[in-house]
Structure 1
Amino acid sequence: MLSQDNNNSYSDNGLNNKIREEENYPFTSPYFLDNNKANRINKNNELIFNADFESGNLDSVQKYSYCEYDLYIRPDPSANNNRQGHRVWFYFQIKNTEKNQRVILNIVNFSKAKMALYRQGATPVVKSDKRPEWVRLPKDTVFLHRSNRHKKNYVLSIAFCFDDPDDTYYFAFSFPYTYTQLQNYLKNLEERNLPFLKRSFIGYSVEKKRLDLLTISNIENFNKPGKKKTVCITSRVHPGESPSSYVCEGLIDFLVSNDPIAKILRDNLIFKIIPCLNPDGVYHGNYRTCTLGYDLNRNWLK
């Protein structure tokens, strides 16, 4: 995310300055815990899983042992009755933990078998109510493997240690960016009353969520349609591609800034930006489709 300092210069400070580097991992490592402490936990304790919140996704959980759980992703709705929906995005919370409780969480039903991002070094993210900054799980706690117990399907296993029984923990496929988060950002942007920014309402989604269009250009260009080239930018046609929202927000922040390059761009171009093409899918925690089960990037009016 681009952020502006007092000299109107820009630097990359991460996603809204909320993402810590792996070396600053704020949770207890499952590998450096005294086994005597770990053995004191109540093996009959039941973790409480929940995904009933905006952009959440978790279908069901099966307890394999006191320290291992199999987690199933809720499929996207599918307009094709003969095809099961995509199962990639997950976002859930866990509470009712015990201090120093170590667990293995297995995500067992990915529809993308090889999960290229995770094979190339990416990891899921975690935060908690008391540590609200999203951070990637350390690479040595995440394993993508073929599991004999799961019919040799690919399983993503997460080793984690709960260190505070009064905290609530959240895990996600990648950094979430919700519909509400976007609306708050656009509201704050609009309230700045920038002369070169116009926010337009272009319609509602199936579930009556706003579809917004931002136009960014010097005010003189607003009155001369066709005189300047137009750059069209869209984001979140696939709900699970949440990093695109952070990229889009950073781009908007730059284009409305006092940076000399931003001024040149506004003088010579008209930017048309739709920050979210699939607000219903984003809201419900789908990976690829809208509420009606269509992949909007594969269904265009002819």
Structure 2
Amino acid sequence: MQITSNFDSGNIHVVAAEQADNIQLEIKKDNQSEYFQWFHFKLHNLEHIEHTLSITNAAQSAYLEGWPGYQAVASYDREHWFRVPTEFDGQNLIIKFTPDYDSTYFAYFAPYSYERHQDLIHNAQLDIDCQLQVLGQTHDGRDISLLKIGEEGAGKKTIWLTARQHPGETMAEWFMEGFLDRLLDEDDGAARALLNKAVFYVVPNMNPDGSVRGHLRTNAVGVNLNREWDNPTLEKSPEVYFVREKMLETGVDMFLDIHGDEALPVNFVAGSEGIPSYNDKLKSLEEQFKKILLQITPEFQDEKGYEKDEPGKANLTLASNWVGEQFKCLSYTVEMPFKDNELLPDYSVGWSDNRSSLFGRDFLTAIYHVVDDLR
């Protein structure tokens, strides 16, 4: 039996693996951080018998409420990911699985590799409307890549999307893949109409170092990027520093920051109700945007989500709050589940990479319906 995580976004420590019915594992912490929850590893065993894999430090992970009702994902080919029987006993996350083939990958959610990220941005640049820009480098020397889609013009809006500030939230880049695929589709009427009215600035992966390192929430030096937006530094958070500088250069009329939530089994958005400049105009835009999403996709809901901030009490270190206050614009955090969407459960795959991608495509329709009202 062999268990390894020595690959892109891999994360696991093997405690014991002598017997198939008593494999003991631990998730490794993000570098220079106490956060951990993301796991991604490969099991190779020629015996096609039931395996019991116990993640023994699950009770000490970052989001304990993420485990009840959660089912891990597995894959034989790294393309199709399916859910496997998983339970949390209060201490251990226990996966029971009988493999059909010799080698099986397991993960917290369908991974989005750095190589796929490179394919995404470099294929996008082939479109006549798209330009691939490099804003700077991360601590590990990786590019902070930005896709500019569309051309500036009189009266055109500026729309920004960012994803994977928290690298373990891979559904965010799957969302981006679907969004970009539709935005760059010359046969899509909504996409063509939007590019006549707006310029898009898209950062599909804000945290490439954390993604490759197998982190849940932080960059290479243990910094949570979504707590850096009021005062980012090159020493701690170059990713936010360079993106924010570009935003100050271009201006922002709308912003979406794409994330995943460990605990809530639904899709939802979190607005900027608590920023000092929040007013009736922003409230109307938020309500309009949510109403449109409710009309176009049953995957979205607005009953469950985060508690709204009290007036003037927003945490301006968060991206959506800082952007909303700085640019007085519609600014949302978009959250998707690690579990299933309880409104439309799929017991085979749960909330998945493909569903995240389709959800990203839906957002283009919603943006189309609000773009004229953004300013």
TM-score, length of structure 1 as denominator length: 0.71
d(CA) in 2 for partners of 1:163 and 1:200? 44
Q: Secondary structure at the match of 1:101?
A: coil
Map residues 133-148 of structure 1 onto 2, 5 A cutoff.
133-138=79-84, 141-146=85-90
Given residue 100 of structure 2, which amino acid in structure 1 is its aligned partner? D
Deviation (angstroms), 1:132: 4.0
Higher strand share: 1
Structure 2 residue aligned with 1:160: 97
Structure 1 residue aligned with 2:272: none
Pick one of 127, 130, 139 that aligns with 1:197.
Answer: 130
Map residues 88-103 of structure 1 onto 2, 5 A cutoff.
88-98=37-47, 100-103=48-51
From the superposition, tell whether residues 106 and 281 of structure 1 become closer, same or farther in structure 2 (CA, over 3 Å). same
Higher helix share: 2
Q: Deviations over 1:145-179 (max 9, x none)?
A: 22xxxxxx3x2111111333xx2211000000012
Map residues 97-136 of structure 1 onto 2, 5 A cutoff.
97-98=46-47, 100-110=48-58, 111-112=60-61, 115-119=64-68, 121-128=69-76, 131-136=77-82
d(CA) in 1 for partners of 2:15 and 2:117? 30
Q: Secondary structure at the match of 1:270?
A: strand
Structure 2 residue aligned with 1:85: 34
Pick one of 32, 40, 61 that aligns with 2:15.
Answer: 61
Whether 1:263 and 2:192 are equivalent positions in the alignment is yes
Deviation (angstroms), 1:114: 6.0
Identity percentage over the alignment?
29
Q: Secondary structure at the match of 1:162?
A: coil
Gaps of 5+ in 1: 1-46, 79-83, 147-152
Pick one of 195, 202, 206 that aligns with 1:273.
Answer: 202
Q: How many residues in Structure 1 have an aligned counterpart in Structure 2? A: 229
Q: Are the equivalent residues in 1 in contact too, given 2:37–2:62 (CA < 8 A)?
A: no
Q: Are the equivalent residues in 2 in contact too, given 1:56–1:284 (CA < 8 A)?
A: yes
From the superposition, tell whether residues 64 and 144 of structure 1 become closer, same or farther in structure 2 (CA, over 3 Å). farther
Given residue 30 of structure 2, which amino acid in structure 1 is its aligned partner? D
Pick one of 225, 234, 247 that aligns with 1:296.
Answer: 225
Deviation (angstroms), 1:229: 1.7
d(CA) in 2 for partners of 1:135 and 1:211? 28
Larger Cα Rg: Structure 1 or Structure 2? 1
Q: Are the equivalent residues in 2 in contact too, given 1:64–1:70 (CA < 8 A)?
A: no
From the superposition, tell whether residues 113 and 189 of structure 1 become closer, same or farther in structure 2 (CA, over 3 Å). closer
d(CA) in 2 for partners of 1:172 and 1:106? 13
Map residues 179-194 of structure 1 onto 2, 5 A cutoff.
179-191=114-126, 194=127
From the superposition, tell whether residues 66 and 211 of structure 1 become closer, same or farther in structure 2 (CA, over 3 Å). closer
d(CA) in 1 for partners of 2:207 and 2:78? 26
Gaps of 5+ in 2: 232-375
Structure 1 residue aligned with 2:179: 251
Q: Are the equivalent residues in 2 in contact too, given 1:90–1:173 (CA < 8 A)?
A: yes
d(CA) in 2 for partners of 1:199 and 1:113? 35
TM-score, length of structure 2 as denominator length: 0.57
d(CA) in 2 for partners of 1:268 and 1:96? 55
d(CA) in 2 for partners of 1:95 and 1:170? 9
Deviation (angstroms), 1:64: 7.7
d(CA) in 2 for partners of 1:172 and 1:66? 18
d(CA) in 1 for partners of 2:62 and 2:206? 27
d(CA) in 2 for partners of 1:56 and 1:265? 38
Given residue 43 of structure 2, which amino acid in structure 1 is its aligned partner? I
Given residue 250 of structure 1, which amino acid in structure 2 is its aligned partner? G
Higher relative contact order (CA 8 A, sep 6+): 1
Deviation (angstroms), 1:203: 1.2
From the superposition, tell whether residues 215 and 113 of structure 1 become closer, same or farther in structure 2 (CA, over 3 Å). closer
Deviation (angstroms), 1:112: 3.6
Structure 2 residue aligned with 1:234: 162
Structure 2 residue aligned with 1:76: 30
From the superposition, tell whether residues 66 and 260 of structure 1 become closer, same or farther in structure 2 (CA, over 3 Å). closer
